[in-house]
Structure 1
Amino acid sequence: MKRWLASMFIAAIPAVASAEGVKMYTFDGSFEDATFAIENEIIGHGLVVDYVSHVGAMLSRTKDDVGGAKDLFDNADVFLFCSAVLSRKMMEVDPANIAFCPYGVFVTDTDSTVAIGYRLMPDGPMKEVEALLDEIARAAAGL
């Protein structure tokens, strides 16, 4: 019975369809509120936002130049940050884990559907980083 209840709880978590290797949660609010929530969660974890990449604005600005047929997002930003503790831990296991740093959490707004998500990490020690990303994304999404 407990397993069934747990599976029903997990099934009730709002998620949006996403690409393979990406986890996304719907956000009940505006894009601005979602970006504010993400930034607060990152800072609340004792981390610093190194850079905000305005991917949606770039894609909109360059659409005609590259022969784009449609607007992909109403808004889309990626928040880049690192954890000195986790990064050192992951790179001591394998220096090639530098490829995953900085970490990113994104916020998208497409047809009035706001989502928060992140890229899944490979199996092994990088799953600890993925757990941090999920914690930040879920908390920002109010889950």
Structure 2
Amino acid sequence: MTNWENTMYRLISTLAAGCFALALPAAAQEAVLHDFDGSFDDATFAVESAIVGQGLVVDYVSHTGEMLNRTGEDVGSDVKIFDAADIFLFCSAVVSRSVMEADPMNVIHCPYNIFVLERDGKVQVGHRTYPEGPMQEVQALLDGIVKEAVGD
């Protein structure tokens, strides 16, 4: 094989491997879920109170359950996914600075969120999991907030 052919072979092999990797489905993030003994409204109040109790500010509450229920018919579905679902988005200047000083690309995880959902009368509070390393500081923050909200 000539030098040019060898270079082309390596280039094509690298491109093919890259295309194959892009075609693989992304691994789903795990969720940490806790059952809540009470109503959905009580759970959302407890989550917001626990966030604020940490000295943090809720930037936004996404009423995802309402949106899905409202738009189901518009997108050709009669499936009711949640009785209710809200997502609280917020950030921590202290924790965010720490994890982003360790790796500036940890910005992709911000803002952080905690969700409250109700399905078939069961209310749960949770958050996504984060990768090993510096982001475990965020996971610990979220674990603490959720445990406070559910009374653990």
- Cα offset, 1:67, TM superposition: 2.0
Q: Counterparts in 2 of 1:69-80, with a 5 A limit?
A: 69-80=78-89
> Deviating runs (4+, > 2 A) in structure 1?
none
Q: Equivalent residue for 2:76?
A: 67
Measure, in 2, the Cα distance between the counterparts of 1:104 and 1:68.
Answer: 27
Unpaired runs of at least 5, structure 2? 1-27
- Cα offset, 1:66, TM superposition: 1.5
RMSD over aligned Cα, in angstroms?
A: 1.1
- Cα offset, 1:35, TM superposition: 0.3
Q: Equivalent residue for 2:95?
A: 86
> Among 101, 124, 129, which residue is 1:115 paired with?
124
Please give the secondary structure, in 2, of the residue aligned with 1:87: helix
What amino acid sits opposite 2:135 in the alignment? M
Residue 55 in structure 1 maps to residue 64 in structure 2 = yes
Measure, in 2, the Cα distance between the counterparts of 1:68 and 1:56.
Answer: 14
How far does the alpha carbon of each residue in 1:38-70 deviate from its partner, in whole angstroms, 9 at most, with x for none?
Answer: 000000000000000000011011101222231
Identity of paired residues, percent? 57
Structure whose residues are more often helix by fraction: 2
- Cα offset, 1:34, TM superposition: 0.2
Please give the secondary structure, in 2, of the residue aligned with 1:65: helix
Unpaired runs of at least 5, structure 1? 1-18
Measure, in 2, the Cα distance between the counterparts of 1:20 and 1:127.
Answer: 14
Please give the secondary structure, in 2, of the residue aligned with 1:124: coil
Q: Counterparts in 2 of 1:18-33, with a 5 A limit?
A: 21-33=30-42
Q: Give me the TM-score of the superposition, normalised by structure 1.
A: 0.85
Measure, in 1, the Cα distance between the counterparts of 2:77 and 2:136.
Answer: 35
